[in-house]
Structure 1
Amino acid sequence: MIERADQLVLEFVSKVADAAHGRMRPEQRLDFVRRVRERVDEERAGSEDAKAVARILARFGTPEQLVDREARRLAGQSGESPQTRVFPVDDAEPPRRRSTPTPPGVMHYRQEARRHLADRGGRKPSAFSRIRDAAMAGGNPMATDGKDAWSIFANNRRETIGLGLFVLAALLVPFRLPTVAIFPVPGLIWAVGAVVVLASEGWVFNDRLIGLSAPVAAYLFGGAGLALLRFQGDLPRFLIEFHGVSGVMFIIGTAAGVTWLIYRLFDPPPAPPSRTLRVTR
């Protein structure tokens, strides 16, 4: 976990340095990259949680946006136009790999990625690989740490257990299982899953609330709405109709809630900044 958090910071700072190449003078670029790293470390405050670090980096904006702001600041000091302030590459400047050596951790992951791509080059992708790639097609690489769906679920076991309990509860609805006291078995399983989801840290509170309320709202309001369509002024008839359709609506609501929670697990929203993030001298 610590290695993944450090890797996110190193990759972000490296992208900032790449974006600044040719936009600033060599000494300005080195100073800017140093200040970006110090600002990131300050906001990080020693956190080793990869998700928290990813949200912090997202609050800074993209590397290109950071460089654009710094270029405008430098242009404002010199009176030049920021659109034309693009410096030629200094022949005397040593290559970036020489001036900023690639950290061992970055080199290790690059080598692993090359070997993985080389292994896949001669093989036809499996069905699971195609499903995994499709699942990650819309993911935020910074938020997901560049991992695939399997890695995300494996690294968020509590969240995965909660989602699994929701799915199990929905699958058991069609079966006429005996009740425990007065509570149906699917309802008890869903309640345990709700406790697990509420105790999970992979989602913000609003996302957890949406995931939990979707099946409840579908069960109550969706079931009642469909029952009213067949309501003929007879309350027992209404209860029979509600009992007949509410289970289906609960399954649909659970599917919607689980889908939302999985989406937010892959691509969590950036945390709102508590104060303006600026890289200053």
Structure 2
Amino acid sequence: MIERADQLVLNYVSKAADAAHGVLRADQRLDFAKRLRARIEVERHGSQNAREVAKVLARFGDPVALVEREAHRLADAGVATKRDAAPAAGADTQRATGSTLHFPAIADDGGPPPPGVRAYRKIAQERLEGEGRGRGLPFAGLRRAAMSSANPMATGGRDARTIVKEHPRDTAAIVILVVAALLVPFELPALAIFQVPLVVWAVGAVMVLSSTSWSLRDRILGVGAPLLGYSVGGVLIGGLRVGVEAGVQAFVTQFFDVSGTMFMIGTGVGVVWLAYRLLDVT
């Protein structure tokens, strides 16, 4: 969601501006926040994907560490900040020269980063490597969301309820997929030539496929699992139940007997995956 990606940036810049209180003067805070926002926009390359923007922000590191680096840069340049107990004479002149066209280097720009940046960079790198190799702690996002009720610091104040508020359309899509699976046991009259569960599933599938909160792979897995369960699962289980000697008619009968159940199982798998990835989006 575009709003979600932009909100991540605004939250990050706000944290940096809050951390600058008591460290930088008002004009320095404003200049720092403007340059930080501009640098983030350059690094995100116009991306509106919340996951990609979160990775970009992780590369910048701890906002508090960025403020400290800015304060040190100004101190090295002989510019007084709010932290200075006794500003040197000529503070007005320094205030005029306190701005700079150059933004402090981020973690990837070379040079030894401060401890806060190193810690955030390590976390981001481990997460990227885990996604790339398909390894890492299983269902870490779900565990963090469950822990947040007891320890809000585990997720930065984010939990399942927060996710629902921030992604109402995606949550609705997941609910529609669940409803489609639950309608399978009921023998509802068909709509034209289509069964009601199939129509409901199609609505949910369109909503999932049009979402930007999940990657393309996650969207395909989420909506493809029910179809895979229905077709492949129905063929395998139906074939095993009738055996090799049975005829085509017996196989077709068994296929339709088990395919609905396999569709429900596939939907459950797809919904669990989508929910997990939505919880782990940031």
Q: Tell me which interval the TM-score lies in, with the shorter structure as reference length.
A: 0.5 to 0.7
Tell me how large the CA RMSD over aligned residues is.
4.2
Match of 2:145 in 1: 136
Give the number of equivalent residue pairs: 194
Q: What is the rounded CA distance, in whole Å, between the counterparts of 2:225 and 2:54 in structure 1?
A: 28
Assess, with a 3 A threshold, how the Cα gap between structure 1 residues 138 and 225 changes in structure 2: closer, same or farther: farther
Q: 2:235 aligns with which of 224, 233, 237?
A: 224
Match of 1:178 in 2: 189
Q: What is the rounded CA distance, in whole Å, between the counterparts of 1:152 and 1:222 in structure 2?
A: 32
Match of 2:279 in 1: 266
* Amino acid aligned to 1:158: R
Q: 1:253 aligns with which of 266, 270, 277?
A: 266
Q: Find out whether 1:150 has 2:161 as its counterpart.
A: yes
Q: What is the rounded CA distance, in whole Å, between the counterparts of 1:244 and 1:176 in structure 2?
A: 13
Q: What is the rounded CA distance, in whole Å, between the counterparts of 2:48 and 2:212 in structure 1?
A: 14
Assess, with a 3 A threshold, how the Cα gap between structure 1 residues 174 and 152 changes in structure 2: closer, same or farther: same
Is contact 1:5–1:50 with CA below 8 Å preserved after alignment?
no
Deviations 1:149-177 (A, max 9, x none): 11211221221121111000000001111
Q: Find out whether 1:8 has 2:19 as its counterpart.
A: no
Match of 1:122 in 2: none
Is contact 1:222–1:246 with CA below 8 Å preserved after alignment?
yes
SS of structure 1 residue aligned to 2:158: coil
Assess, with a 3 A threshold, how the Cα gap between structure 1 residues 135 and 181 changes in structure 2: closer, same or farther: farther
Is contact 2:50–2:213 with CA below 8 Å preserved after alignment?
no
SS of structure 1 residue aligned to 2:262: helix
SS of structure 2 residue aligned to 1:136: helix
Offset of 1:135 from its aligned partner? 6.6
Q: What is the rounded CA distance, in whole Å, between the counterparts of 1:249 and 1:53 in structure 2?
A: 37
TM-score of the aligned structures, taking structure 2 as reference length: 0.55
SS of structure 2 residue aligned to 1:179: coil
Match of 1:243 in 2: 256
Assess, with a 3 A threshold, how the Cα gap between structure 1 residues 220 and 48 changes in structure 2: closer, same or farther: closer
Match of 2:201 in 1: 190
Identity of aligned residues (%): 41
* Amino acid aligned to 1:206: R
Match of 1:206 in 2: 217
* Amino acid aligned to 2:10: D
* Amino acid aligned to 1:246: S
Larger RCO, structure (CA 8 Å, separation 6 or more): 1
Offset of 1:10 from its aligned partner? 4.1
Offset of 1:94 from its aligned partner? 8.0
TM-score of the aligned structures, taking structure 1 as reference length: 0.56
* Amino acid aligned to 1:7: N
Q: What is the rounded CA distance, in whole Å, between the counterparts of 1:13 and 1:245 in structure 2?
A: 59
Match of 2:120 in 1: none
Offset of 1:39 from its aligned partner? 3.5
Is contact 2:8–2:53 with CA below 8 Å preserved after alignment?
no
Give the gaps of 5 or more residues in structure 2.
21-31, 70-80, 85-141
Q: What is the rounded CA distance, in whole Å, between the counterparts of 1:3 and 1:248 in structure 2?
A: 41
Deviations 1:190-229 (A, max 9, x none): 0111111111121111110110111111111111101111
